[in-house]
Amino acid sequence: MVCATVVFGKYVYLHDDDDEGPHQAVDSHQILVRKKGKRSYLLYLIILPILANMVYLFLAKEKVGAAFIVTILLSLLFMKALHGKSIKKESVVIMPGFGVQIETHYSRRVVRRFVPIGKILRPVLNECVTPVTCYWSLALIIHGEDELMLVFQELRPPVKMLVPIWKALCAATDAIKKVNTNVADT
């Protein structure tokens, strides 16, 4: 059951919170990337002159072999630059008793990482400032690790999409810490 949907720019935020059934403890947050038509239009604008150049070189019959190889390599380079790692969505599945599963869905594969809830010291929101841009990221401070673990490694969603995920992670980790301190006190 989808509880919340937020659309901002090229990102769509979905929050699945099952209050009924066997999955009532699972809290799922997904950030989807909306596809735009401008990217494919730009792709055709780049490929069309390359193909026209290839036809011209074949008709001119001057050093066709070298020109053909260079043209193919350039078109492959442009295609790779435009498509890159095409990411469909990134999601965070919070299972309060077990841990957090972080998924990144690419066009052909899915990368999953699991962090046990006991290893998470604190979820944090970071403001990342570079010479060119400024953006927010959600990270986990992991026990025994030197570096922060980024929750969204590829996407840079706006802060208003990160705050509900951060609050859910804080609630899940604080609940476990309260149970552990109560057990230690007895």
Encode pLDDT of 91-138 as tens digits. 999 988 889 999 999 878 899 999 999 999 999 999 999 999 999 999
Residue 80, pLDDT score = 67
Instruction: Give the residue, 165 or 60, on which the prediction is more confident.
Output: 165
Its pTM stands at 0.71
Q: Are 120 and 140 in contact (CB under 8 A)?
A: yes
* Band of pLDDT at residue 143, cut at 50, 70 and 90: very high
Residue 107, pLDDT score = 78
Which helix (H) or strand (E) segment holds residue 135: the answer is: strand 134-142
Which helix (H) or strand (E) segment holds residue 15: the answer is: strand 11-17
Provide the token pair at 58.
């074949």
Instruction: Give the residue, 165 or 45, on which the prediction is more confident.
Output: 165
Burial (CB count <10 Å: 0-12, 13-18, 19+), residue 151: buried
Burial (CB count <10 Å: 0-12, 13-18, 19+), residue 28: buried
List for the chain the helix, strand, coil content (%; round to 5). 40, 35, 25
φ and ψ at residue 58, rounded to 5 degrees: -65, -35
Q: For residue 109, what are the CA distances in angstroms to 7, 88, 103, 105, 106?
A: 25, 10, 10, 6, 5
Instruction: Answer whether residue 186 shows pLDDT above 60.
Output: no
Arithmetic mean of pLDDT over the chain: 79
Residue 182, pLDDT score = 47
Provide the token pair at 92.
């965070």
Residue 127, pLDDT score = 93
First to last CA, the chain: 39
Instruction: Answer whether residue 144 shows pLDDT above 70.
Output: yes
